[in-house]
Amino acid sequence: MTSSKQLNKISKFLSFVLRHKPEAIGLTLDDNGWVNIDNLINKSNKSGEVSSINRELIQEVVDTSDKKRFIFSDDGQNIRANQGHSIQVDLQLKPVTPPEFLYHGTATRFLESIVEEGLKPQERQHVHLSTNIETATAVGQRYGKPVILTIKALLMHKQGLVFYRSENGVWLTDNVPVPFLQTP
């Protein structure tokens, strides 16, 4: 068994490469965010950023990922991140109707700006929202004292704003204008 610390390190490395900077190890993602697994393994091992990655380890990371961050293609040859990209990829997600409310966890220090300009995707392709407050709290905690914003998602949808849900259940939208935000 690989230690959870080791798996976490590989997971973070895969997030970095598959969401943000494939070129850091000489990789290119295809238009839909996929990369060939053998190529990923070769380039990762040459990079010296992680020690001896192999298919079994990647499988273990995928299987144990609490948020199901990665997915294999049907033929098992390729892998991609399910969401969270800062680089331009087309995940071919279909618009879906959201529940009445969704949640976004952020840090209190961002609130002033958020209530003025709404939620923006910042470096990523979308604003990330969740159906549950626990997940939102954990996300917000990464940046400081967490605060949970309630998003009037169904109302946004009714007014023509589009929502997607990633393979791993994260809700995505382009931005959340101020009128649809509720602070605690």
Burial zone of 163 (CB within 10 Å; 0-12 exposed, 13-18 middle, 19+ buried): buried
8 Å CB contact between 172 and 165: yes
Shortest Cβ contact with ligand HQG: which residue?
106
Q: Does 143 bind ligand HQG (CB under 6 A)?
A: yes
How far apart are CB 27 and ligand HQG at their closest, in Å? 19
Nearer residue to ligand HQG within complex by CB, 31 or 112: 112
Nearer residue to ligand HQG within complex by CB, 37 or 114: 114
How far apart are CB 46 and ligand HQG at their closest, in Å? 25
Closest CA to 54 of 69, 76, 68, 38: 38
The enclosing H or E element of 10 equals: helix 4-15
**Residue numbers of the site for ligand HQG (CB under 6 A)?**
67, 69, 84, 106-107, 110, 113-114, 117, 119-120, 122-124, 128, 139, 143, 170
